[in-house]
Amino acid sequence: MTMRSAFLNAGGIGVFLGLLGLWELITRFGLVSPVFLPSVGDTFGALLEQGKDGSLVRAVMGTGGRMLLGFSLAALVGCGVGLLIGLSSQARHYIEPSLEFLRPLPASAVIPVAILLLGLTKTMIISVIVFGSLWPVLLATIQGIKSVEPRLFEMARTMELPHRTVIASIVLPSALPDIFSGLRLALTVSLILAVVTEMMSAETGLGATILYAARSFRSPELFAGVVTLGAIGFGINAMMEVAQRHLLRWRT
As a whole number, mean pLDDT of residues 74-102 equals: 82
Are residues 145 and 163 located together in one domain of the fold? yes
d(CA 249, CA 243) in angstroms, rounded, equals: 10
Here the CATH number for the domain that contains residue 214 is 1.10.3720.10
Are residues 89 and 201 located together in one domain of the fold? yes
Are residues 100 and 175 located together in one domain of the fold? yes
Are residues 85 and 126 located together in one domain of the fold? yes
Polymer length in residues for the chain: 252
Are residues 63 and 46 located together in one domain of the fold? yes
Binned at pLDDT 50, 70 and 90, residue 9 comes out as: low
User: Is the per-residue pLDDT at 154 higher than 90?
Assistant: no
Sign of CA dihedral 111, 117, 121, 127: negative
Residue-wise pLDDT for 91-139, tens only, equals 777 777 777 777 777 777 888 888 888 888 888 899 999 999 999 999 8
User: Is the per-residue pLDDT at 6 higher than 60?
Assistant: no
Q: Say how many Å lie between the first and final Cα of the chain, rounded.
A: 16
d(CA 158, CA 180) in angstroms, rounded, equals: 30
CA distance readout (Å), 240 to 15, 129, 209, 224, 244 = 23, 19, 27, 24, 6
Q: CA 4: distance to chain centroid?
A: 29
Q: Please report the DSSP string for the chain in residue order.
A: --HHHHHHHHHHHHHHHHHHHHHHHHHHTTSS-TTTS--HHHHHHHHHHHHHHTHHHHHHHHHHHHHHHHHHHHHHHHHHHHHHHHH-HHHHHHHHHHHHHHTTS-HHHHHHHHHHHH-SSHHHHHHHHHHHHHHHHHHHHHHHHHTS-HHHHHHHHHTT--HHHHIIIIIHHHHHHHHHHHHHHHHHHHHHHHHHHHHHS---SHHHHHHHHHHTT-HHHHHHHHHHHHHHHHHHHHHHHHHHHHHTGGG-
By the 10 Å C-beta count (0-12 exposed, 13-18 middle, 19+ buried), 45 is classed as: middle
Binned at pLDDT 50, 70 and 90, residue 11 comes out as: low
Could you tell me the pTM of the whole model? 0.83
| Range of 28-37, 65-74, 155-164, 166-175 with top mean pLDDT | 65-74
Are residues 115 and 198 located together in one domain of the fold? yes
Are residues 77 and 137 located together in one domain of the fold? yes
Q: Which residues contact 166 (CB under 8 A, 6 or more apart)?
A: 153, 156
Are residues 63 and 128 located together in one domain of the fold? yes
- The domain of 16 spans 1-32
Are residues 220 and 175 located together in one domain of the fold? yes
As a whole number, mean pLDDT of residues 225-250 equals: 84
Are residues 107 and 84 located together in one domain of the fold? yes
Are residues 208 and 92 located together in one domain of the fold? yes
